[in-house]
Amino acid sequence: MASITARPDARIARAAQAADLSRVATIAVVSLATLAPLALAFAFRHESLRLDEAQSLWQVSRPARAIIAIVAGDVHVPLYHLLLHAWLLAAGDTVAVARLLSLLFFVASVPLVYLLGERAYGRRVALFAVVLFALSPFMNWYASEIRMYTMLVFFTVLNQYCFLRLAEGERGRGVWAFYGVSALLGAFTHYFFFLNLLAEAVYYLFRRERFAAGSLRRFASIAAMLGLAFIPWAWYVFSVGTAGFETPALAPPSAVNLFGAFAEFFFGFQSDAVNTVILSLWPVTVILGVLALRRRRMQDATEYLLIAVLVPFAIAFFGSFVVTPVFVSRYLIATIPALCLLVANLLAAYPPSFAAATRAGLVGLVAAGFALEVVNPLSPVKEEYASAVAYLSAHASAQDAIVLSAPFTVYPVEYYYRGPATISTLPAWDQYAYGPIPAFDPAKLPAEIANATAGDQDVYLLLSYDQGYESKIRDYFESHYQRLYEHTYSHDLTLYVYRLRYDTNRTAIATARS
C-alpha cells in the first residue's frame, strides 16, 4: 500500500524539481541576455563620434535653459538631453561616459522585454524573444550612440507591459500609475512615442470589452494629463520658430526602405550586396509566417503587438508622402521588442524539431549580421570623422583652409580638430546665429569658395551627408583646381585636397594669422 501512495508523491516531487530547474534556467537566460549588451559594447568602443552624437554633445554642453531652446529647434523633445547634461556633470564629460547612458537603458530594457513576452505568450516564447532582442545588431549599435533611442525603447516596453496588463482586465492603481508615468516620460523622449500611444488607442477601439469597466475614463484622464504637460512645449517650439533649421533633407521612402528597416532590425546595417541577399529572403519569411498563423488562432496579444508594429510603420511610411519624409529606421526602433515577440511566437507554432532548428539558424544569422556590422569599415552608418580629422590635424597648416559640406557636419569636425587651419562650410553657415542653414545656390558657389579660401595655399574639402548638391561642389573644385589627395574614410565620407595657388607666401600668412 505504501508503494502505491508513494507514486503520486514522487511525481509531485519531480514536477516541483522540474519547476525549480525551469525557474533557474529562466533566470540564467534572462541574466545572460541582460549582460550580453555590456559585453557586446566592447565591439563599438573604438567607433568614431558620429554626426548625431556630436550634435548631442554640443547641445548638452550648455546650461539647461539653452539646451531646451536648442532642442526645440532640433525636431526633438528635451528629456534625454537634460538627463544627458546631468549625467555628464555627475559622471564625467567623455564620449565613453555619454555612450554609457544609452547602454544602460538598453540593458534595463532586456528584462522588461521578458516580462512583456511572458505576459503575452509565456516563458518559452519570452526567452527566445529576449535572446533576439539582446543580440540585435541594430539595438546594440544605438546602445553605443549618444542619442535617445534606447531610452525610447525602455519607456515604450514599460508602457506596453502596463497596457497589456490593463487589456487583461486589471484595475490596480499601481498599473495605471506606471502606465501614465511611462506615457508622459516616453512622450518627452521622442515624438514617435505618440505612435505607440496611437497604436494602443486603435487596439482599445476594437477590443474595448477586454478592459475593466471605467478604463475609458482613466485613459481619457491620462490623455488630458499628457496634453496639459505637452501643450506648453508645443507652444514653446512654435514661439522659438527654429524647428527644422538643421534637419537633413530626407528622400521619400520606397518599398526597399520599408523591408530594409525590418532587415536592419534583425541583421544590422549591411552593405548593398548583403542587403540584396537578405531582402531576397523576405518571400520565404512571409510564407513561413502565413503558415504559422494558419496553425493557430491569433491570440489577443498577437493582435495588440501586430498593431503596435504596423501603426507606427504605416504612419511613418505614408506620412512621408502626405506631409514630409520622416521614414527613418531609427525613429521606429521602439517596434523591435514587439517584432521579436511576434517572431518568437510564430516559430513556436511549428513542430519542436523544426522550431529548434529555425531558432538556431536565426540566432546564427543575427550573430553573423552583428559581426559584419562591426568589421565592415564601409558599413552605411559608420562615420569615421575621427580618422578624417586626424589627417586634417596632421596635414592642414595655417596657410590652408578646411571646407565642409553638408554644413551641419561641422559638429563632429570641430569636436576633434585642434589644428591652425580655418574651418568653413558650403553653403556658408554660422551655427551660432539664428536662422536655418542657407539653401545651396550654384550662382553663389564661386564667391563662397573664394571667401572661404582667400589667400590660402591648399583646401581640404570634406564631403558627407549629401543634401543634393554635393556633386556640384565637387565638380566645381575638380574643374578649377588641381586635386592632390582623395580618400574615403567611411560610407559617403570622403576627403579631397586641392591646390588653390602656387604663389602664396606661406610665411606671411602664418605670421598674419598668428
pLDDT tens-digit readout, 327-339? 999 999 999 999 9
Q: Given this model, what pLDDT does residue 436 score?
A: 80
pLDDT tens-digit readout, 44-100? 888 999 999 999 999 999 999 999 988 988 789 999 999 999 999 999 989 999 999
Parallel, antiparallel, or unpaired for β 482-490 and 493-499? antiparallel
User: What pTM was computed for the model?
Assistant: 0.90
Examine the pLDDT at 1 and tell me if it is beyond 50.
no
Cell digits of residue 474? 565637387
Examine the pLDDT at 512 and tell me if it is beyond 50.
no
4: pLDDT confidence band, cut at 50, 70 and 90?
A: very low
Helix 282-295 vs helix 336-347: crossing angle, to nearest 10: 60
For CA atoms 71, 77, 79, 83, give the dihedral sign. negative
505: pLDDT confidence band, cut at 50, 70 and 90?
A: low
Q: Given this model, what pLDDT does residue 510 score?
A: 47
Q: What is the 3-state secondary structure (H, E, C) of 52-80?
A: HHHHHHHHHCCCHHHHHHHHHCCCCCCHH
2: pLDDT confidence band, cut at 50, 70 and 90?
A: very low
Examine the pLDDT at 433 and tell me if it is beyond 50.
yes
277: pLDDT confidence band, cut at 50, 70 and 90?
A: confident
Q: Given this model, what pLDDT does residue 430 score?
A: 87
Q: 207-221, 234-248, 365-379: which has the minimum mean pLDDT?
A: 234-248
Domain spans of the chain?
2-375, 385-513
Which region, left, alpha or beta, applies to residue 428 given φ > 0 means left and ψ of -120 to 50 means alpha?
beta
What percent of the chain has a predicted confidence (pLDDT) above 70? 88
Cell digits of residue 6? 508513494
Query: Which residue's entry shows cell 586634417?
Result: 392
Examine the pLDDT at 231 and tell me if it is beyond 80.
yes
Q: How far is the CA of 399 from the CAs of 261, 407, 421, 497, in angstroms?
A: 45, 22, 7, 13
Whether residue 455 contacts residue 504, with contact meaning beta carbons closer than 8 Å, is answered with: yes
Mean pLDDT along residues 193-201: 98
298: pLDDT confidence band, cut at 50, 70 and 90?
A: low
Mean pLDDT along residues 456-477: 95
259: pLDDT confidence band, cut at 50, 70 and 90?
A: confident
pLDDT tens-digit readout, 354-393? 889 999 999 999 999 999 998 888 788 899 999 999 999 9
DSSP notation for 116-171: HHHHHT-HHHHHHHHHHHHH-HHHHHHTTSSSSHHHHHHHHHHHHHHHHHHHTT--
Q: Given this model, what pLDDT does residue 10 score?
A: 61
Quote the CA–CA distance of 423 and 413 in Å, as a whole number. 9
Q: Given this model, what pLDDT does residue 503 score?
A: 65
Top CATH class of 385-513 equals: alpha beta
Average confidence score pLDDT of the chain: 89
Buried b (16+ CB within 10 A) or exposed e, 480-495: ebeeeeeeebbbebbb
CA atoms lying within 13 Å on the CB side of residue 471: 1
Whether residue 349 contacts residue 246, with contact meaning beta carbons closer than 8 Å, is answered with: no
Q: Given this model, what pLDDT does residue 377 score?
A: 80
User: In this predicted model, which residue has the larger pLDDT, 344 or 507?
Assistant: 344
Task: Write out the H or E segment, with its range, that includes residue 185.
Answer: helix 173-187
**Range list of β-strands (E), 303-408:** 401-405
Helix 272-280 vs helix 255-267: crossing angle, to nearest 10: 100
Q: 290-294, 448-452, 478-482: which has the minimum mean pLDDT?
A: 290-294
